[in-house]
Chain A
Amino acid sequence: MKLTMASSPHNHSHKSLNKLMLTVILACIPGLIAQLVFFGTGVLIQLILALLTVSVAEAAIMRIRKRPALTALSDGSAWLTAVLLALSIPPLAPWWIIVIGCLFAIIIVKQLYGGLGFNLFNPAMAAYVLLLISFPVQMTAWLPTADLLAKPISFTQQLSVIFNGYTTAGFSVDQLRVGIDGMTMATPLDTVKTDVAHGLTITESMQSPLFNQWLGKGWGWVNLGFLLGGLYLIKTNVINWHIPVSFIATLAICSGIGYLVAPGTEPGVVFHLFSGATMLGAFFIATDPVSAATTNRGRLVYGALIGLLIYLIRTFGGFPDAVAFSVLLLNMAVPLIDYYTQPRTYGHGMKK
């Protein structure tokens, strides 16, 4: 009888990589549905484009590297990247945005570093930052929720906008973004930031039709959807609780302190937690097992610093949202965090 000795941990979870990735993709569905309802079906077109592009890119690179393309594709990690990127970009962004983003994510960020497990950075977020820096106009053209639009847009119209830049009636994305009152609508985070910079208080800024009482219309539901999916991920043990909890707690504490100090210019805890990409970032992006910290204490530090950075950039920085930047910055810090938070080996280095 042959006894093989594998390295610890010996407790096997019986989850294949493929199953893990598919669970994460599955958990995106509530958030995806919320996006579909409030921001139109464009996100589905982006999703299909993204899935096609990453499949082709991954297969091509695997062929060049002389490795089995099908095995790499079927682990689902590339598809997860595609889903996350498609969920992060504006639904009516032109088709080449998502294609460039997916190619960059797979070829440069993932495969050039050695493929799955070797990438230093979260591929979806690195691609998002590339797109945001290169094409700021297209990447910030979020529509207001469907009920605020002067002209409702059908699925075919959205298809036409994505591929031609104009609807069949000849309206560009910028014209579509104009609301009933003739004002161009930005995202809630952006609106609050600009209004505060112009000397308005939060209460005045929230008078805009973009908001209902406390939250941006639609955005609260999208975040709630991702929160639901994230809780499912924690329940099925796909991700640990450390990163999301410390991420959200830090963001809540920081925005709470900010609100107490300056209630007129700070939108408060609930707004920060349920706006932009907070929940998507906390449960789906920061928890990427490859590029996040690997020790439990390290995960707490990692999540907390991301939360802190998001608050700082949202409040004092140049961009309205900051999940992608914060995650990338902390990806860089992961080796350091892991170094200082190594758990004590059993029987070694007892405290005196």
Chain B
Amino acid sequence: MSQLKELFNEGMWKNNPALVQLLGLCPLLAVTSTVTNAMGLGLATLMVLVGSNVTISAVRNWVPKDIRIPVFVMIIAAFVTIIQLLMNAYTFGLYQSLGIFIPLIVTNCAIIGRAEAFASKNPVHLSAFDGLMMGAGFMVVLLVLGAMREVIGQGTLFDGADLLLGPWAAVLRIEIFSFDNQFLLAILPPGAFLGLGLLIAAKNVIDAQIKAKQVAPPEAEKGPRARVTSLT
């Protein structure tokens, strides 16, 4: 159980692909102009990540070490193709608005990174959970950044959610404020860089505060120190 908890922590916070590893920044910066786009790409990446992690973990003992990277890339590409065809079939509007960034999931370093660093060394169930958590961590950052940019840029939230979730979702659109002029910078790529920078800064501030709180207690216990050989 603690292993799962550790994986959860790693993916969502400590080793978050977007905020700490800074992987997959190309789609992160390019498609987060609205929450809907962010959610679409986040879900697609999540599914690819889980699928590729499971498959790679299942075949890890049969893949020769020397050619593992091409094999991993082919597995990832297969999953991306599946996702792309699915999105083309069921969420065509979103498929069009995400455009090239769906096939580009293949090149998302977060996916190949997890395949190499985790799935190729761990059993299937752990790899699946790792893929889920890493994907979720990536998606959360996408969503937060998308929400920031959409609110600042055009004053709405969930604009165009019906493209992803079907016609009923049109009611999700929230108009927070209306303004004659869009704040274009937030929607354009520089806004994504500024937004991501602010998010990383916020994470570092929170980490620093947590650290400052944690440093205090251990000073109290100063008993005789037994030497324990490293467990890992």
Contacts and interface: CB of A to CB of B under 8 A. Distances in A.
A134 interface: yes
Contact of B185 (A112, A134, A137, A138): A134
Q: Most A CB atoms within 10 A — which of B181, B182, B183, B201? A: B181
Interface string B178-192: 000111111010100
A133 interface: yes
Nearest to B194: A108
A133 B181 contact: no
A155 interface: no
A133 B185 contact: yes
B185 A130 contact: yes
A251 B43 CA distance: 52
Contacts of B194: 108
B222 to A, nearest CB: 32
Interface size class of B (residues with CB under 8 A): 10 to 19
B181 A138 contact: yes
Contacts of B186: 134
Nearest to B153: A134
Contact of A137 (B181, B188, B201): B181
A127 to B, nearest CB: 11
A136 B181 CA distance: 10
B188 to A, nearest CB: 7
Contacts of B184: 133-136
Interface in A82-134: 108, 112, 130, 133-134
Interface in B167-221: 181-186, 188, 190, 194, 201
Contacts of A136: 184
A108 B197 CA distance: 11
A271 to B, nearest CB: 31
A136 B183 CA distance: 10
A130 B184 CA distance: 9
A108 B190 CA distance: 13
Interface string A135-159: 1111000000000000000000000
| 6 smallest beta-carbon distances between A and B, as pairs | A134-B185, A134-B184, A134-B183, A133-B185, A130-B185, A135-B181
Interface of B: 181-186, 188, 190, 194, 201
